[in-house]
Structure 1
């Protein structure tokens, strides 16, 4: 509390003065609030102006002056003016009386009485004055002074003040840095702090740069409020400034702006500075210096004389050296610093001075003796500068080891059927090769080394590429064994001696016959799976294309999504085309392999070629044209052209799907035929081995047929007979398994079941068991008796299997021929009805359209029948199916034309349809004739099978001979071994006699077998050696050569048979023909065709061949 409040007032004036001071305090508060309410909104406006106006000293001064003027004006008006007009005490008394509505001037009179009381002498007067003063005091104390003093409310001006502060607070909250800059702009009052803070960094600043080098000047401007650009000012020393804008970099960080300016070539000293708005960098200087460094190197290599390498000079950016030991290296160092000197510093502490070759070139030389490192040192004594290069590598190379590689064959291969391997060889050495050798051997033998080629050291080639045909027929490699080999080359190194280079180890394996058959069957199954998958994917793709074509008809334009769908469809279609190409390549490879390995008969190989032709037809030129047309339509984005292209592709896809389905069915049929052919060969091999067992029994008892079997004979023959019995059971199991899996081919299934139902194989198995029992009892005659019966049963089984395969082929071809004749007959009928329709001039268009619809439905059923037949034979190709499809399309167009009243167009389309039906009929008759001819050819036996049987017998004989000679450890043979050699000689003689018979039959038919004479001579020599009881390993080598020539003879016979192979052809106009009969007079061509087909459908085999076929079948029945 103040002193006036702690001490009670002694007079009225003091009481009234204290009230007046309360009024003053209230007035000052009201003035301050009013000043704030007027000043702060104005300052908020100045702050907003500072935010919006660009920064500058003029703007800062103007804003500061305006803000100060506003503050002073509002202060003077709101605060000073009320203070200057403050009332005296009497006036305050009058104001208070008016404010309190006192009507008697009580306060004013009390002031006057108190002032004049000191002049009163009368006690009464003094008492009256005191009473008046006391009354005035009570009145003053009863007044609400605080309410009377409040002339104005404080809240409204304070609200205005808060409203004035509101924009400042909001701006500060959103951007403190910008708000601080605005406040600084006002407070700086035009001084240096008026502008926002900018930090300007410049690179490279003051620097020294090599003359002619480019320089990039970079500047970064940091600050919250940055200018929109930067300028580079440059000048030559003491020159005038030039100004260029700098390029702004978009990848600059958010807190800075980055600029650059590229000086392409600094040719002299340059001063520069950077300006960015109100910021300016110091002046920097770029100094252009001639660099003290090596600009490049020239290396001269002088190799030792014995290498024959001429001197070589090369320019390099580095001084790395790679040379042979003893090479003299001369290095030239280019530089630009006048008066520079240099030297070479090696890592062993030695050095060599560089001599000046020219004003800008130094040179030095040394001989490479070891590997190490060195550097080039340049010195400028005048500038007291030294420059050292990077450490360069010195590589001292020795004479390298030669290299050799085998380009072909693969590291692990099967023994080729021709017993020859082509070695593709590449050899390389740095100075020359002197020898190429082949090292080979089996795992159980010592390796053999054969020199293939030698070269003198003086003219040794540095690289070679050779092709060596390695004949394996002379090597003793049996089926199931492996031959290891590698190549070796030697170089002409005179210092360290010849070094050898070798290839990795390669392997050649001679597969067994079961392995060959298993591999071929697995490949065929893979082809079937791949083709089935391709057909399924093609069908799905065809449905998607149809759906897409229907949707495209409803679209007015080709959308981007539709384009992507078509592109994806094209890619998938091309992928399927690649899959078909892979299948075609697989078929070609399997055919080649089958031909080389003599696995199957020529008939099977002919069927493989037919399937290959079908696969080749799948991807016709029209199919690729349809794809290309669709691709072009996609590029043009023409909806109509795209629709037509898709319709064309749909038609091609349908052809492809049909071809895939046909090929798949024929592949399945081919697999079954191959399996039957394999089982036939197994049956023939069983019969041959049983014959060999019988011959051993006969040979062993030639002097006395009742002589008992020796223990050695009993053990050996029992093992052979037991193995034959087991193999026969396996053969029957395989036949039954094949029958069970042939559900899709009922003719094969039925034929196999009939074959298994015949008693031949069961009786043969029973005779084998009885022969085995007789052998175990040492009964030679009983074993021979049952062995002969077993062989007879096997022969009958083999003949039955041969008859079965021929019968299956003939019945299938006959059924196909009959079906083709029947389809052609129906086509002729359709053609006749089309001809009759054209002659019906009295029918109206609607009746004509109705009859064309009936004809279309009939022709479509005929087409379905033709498609079903085409799945069974290659004789019905795409040409016949397409011709019939075009005829159907013309019938449909003729129907539509008649329905629309266009009679002329309908008749024209009907005429074309009739001609199409006739051409298809002729083509089908040609196909039916081919089927009949093939049925006749299938009934004629080939000597190929007889030679194939001899090859199997020779292979078995080779294995037995190898085992026998390996068992002969001493020159003196035991009696049992002598008998075994005699039996081997008898077997070889039987094979020789069989070959003589085949050669004679071939000579009678005008055909040749080139190596037959040499094979017979080899066989005679083997027989003489075996009869002489000589267990010579050369016998095995002769037999291996015999087997190799037998296999070659098989291939030769097969190629001759291929000249008569079956081939399918598209329908053509056959021209004059003798069957059917010539056109009869008075009949239309359609009627004549129909009569010919009725005759042909009765027997698909022409008459001139029927007699031969019947005679052959009767001979087979008699053999049973």
Structure 2
């Protein structure tokens, strides 16, 4: 048979069969996979649902495998037999391709038979026709792919179901699949709820919160339990956790302080036990501060180990050493939450330094090696203590005041600073002129005491000029620059003599008025008491009203005595003021001081005792006792009244002399002021100051004319001649039109006519000089006339007393009572004249009045004895009366000598000069004592002490002479008395052969007291003037700081030298002071040398 036609058919049929076989196998595999996936899913689902035992799990697994294999075998068995048989496949093709019409099957069957049995051509034709039909037929028409697609869809559905179950029950199915993968392994049945805790074990910083995230799988619970215990051995503490069927919930252990174990339990499920481990955060365990203060503060370095607050000056460098509780990886100093300064680390120690400039705060940020930071670090304060300004206060004079006569002002001030006062300057200006500065010498220290004599004599001051001054103190601040402190500003006013004398005259006038009132009141009381005494003698009883009125009168008398004492104190103030301001001569001040002593003696102890006895007798029922007390009191009250009258008369006399002296000195001052203005005009100065001064001069000239007229009026009755002269001088001022010419000179200066102003000034100066000379001459004539008149009165009294003494002597032979009474009457007339002189002068000897009084008393007793014819008894009293008369004559001679010396200054100034000379001798003696203290004990030292004792004894005697010459000068007497007391102690030590440090200190005090006592003769006006003012709030000007010496022993010698040089001593004694103290220091250095 020709196989050429049959071969293509077979080839095409074989290809078609291979394709059909592949399609069948793929379809079977898809079906098998779908069945296997569903079987396994069912198996896993059953395992997840029922947690099967290994036999069931294994059986279901085998069943699932068998099911899958059966489905696959069934699918293959159904289609593979057709594909494996060519004949059966050809029949399959014939059925699927009807156009073949048995040609394919016929060709295949005939090809295997004997060719003789069929037609080859027919077979070939059938084969070709079948091949052609197969080639033109679509394979998909023969091979059906729909089963494959259906199986693939089934497989996809199975996969989708598996994925859905995995999504819904992923964890359960995964665990079930795990168990199914090991079907023979026995597993414990898992809980219904699966708990997962994140992060499980954890570390937290002590005090922080520990937060957990708890996940729930399976049966979602409504509540869970938190089981907690501090250690693995301790029992659990349970706390409920609300879940409310959530998949997860967060839980926080707040502010964990200690480590603990915990677990989460739900129903039959319980998580593993986890541990929360607490670690301590880094913290500052100790802080050490090292202060390095600015150099200017001179403060030593300081270390603080308690606390962390910083206090210091600006510019202070603070080094911090930070000790932490664990090793650190980083430490930072944070200033005011802005500036960070990294610290140097050394394990658990950090060091950092910075400089403080302003107040603020800081904290320390720490990081340990695990990255933990210190929580809420402590904020420490930085308190910058600002360098305070120096405080300076003027304590003397410490108020607005007038310039003293010497134009030297003693300034005492205190300055302090928290570190050091470097400089103090006196800043002042005259009126509205520019300020001037004068540096005061000081030793820089924290507290400075200043005593400086400010000499304004070279300032060319004129009356009514004002000096505005204050002190400025600078400290030693070298960081921000020196700071300045300023005292309160005060004013020194240069008063005119008119003002000074007006104040003194007004004070005296007030005192005189008060004394006049007291005298008038005393006269009325005296008359009333005498009237009461007489009525008492008549009626022998006083009514209740009379007793009350008497008590009131006695109370008034006691008040009157106290008022006189107060006036004496006020007069003492007036004397001090006049001495400070230089408005009284030494003689005039002496008189006022004697008058003050008289006022103090007006209310005698006898009168005060009589008043007390009278007050006591007023309550006595015996009228005779009261009458006797009234008599004694009336006698003492008469003496009181006489002393008061004499004091008033003396005050009036002294006031007249003071007013006359004031007029003379004011005229001289007017001339001096005019000359000074003329000199300034000649220097080209014709500004506002000169105009104001000339205007002030014009007003004072008008006041001088008024004073002359007032004094003329007041002396018209007392001294008509003086009154007439004063009136003529007042008329001369008006006639020469001095005030008008001064106004004209002011107008010329304003009109810028210096030549005309100078010409007017020169003429005015000449007239004022002439006026001053004329007034001075008038004063001298008045004082000489007063002295001459008083001398004549005293001489007359002396002659009369001599005659009376002779007559008293003659009565020894002819003793008649009437002659003795006549002699006593004559003596009384002399006493009255002496009393009249005593009202005009203080030159009378102190014992004069008492002595002549004793003479009168003895004459009276002698007359009584003669009246009783007791001649022998009378002669005794006559002899005593004659002796007292002779003593009175001698006292009158002494009074005449005192009056003759009254024209020259009193002995006070001379005594002060002598005392100043003694101070130099005491200084030399002190130096010798200092040298003797350095000698070794022995006979030589005792000889030296003996010589020192003799020298000190000589100074003591000289001091006694000075003390006797100062009688009547109470203030000076008290100072000399204090020196005598000190000198007696020193002399006692030296006479015992002892020379100790105490002796040396006493000698130094003697020397200092001598200088102080002699100060008043060289410079007045240094003592503070006492004034009475209404109480007001005053700023505190006392010390403001601790002592600068910090309790160290002061250098007494240097302090004594400083005080001595600051004192108002004459220039001739300053060199002496310096030599004296220099010698002391040299001796001390020699003694301390090794």
Please say whether Structure 1 and Structure 2 have the same fold, judged by a TM-score greater than 0.5: no
Larger Rg: 2
For normalisation by structure 1, the TM-score amounts to 0.38
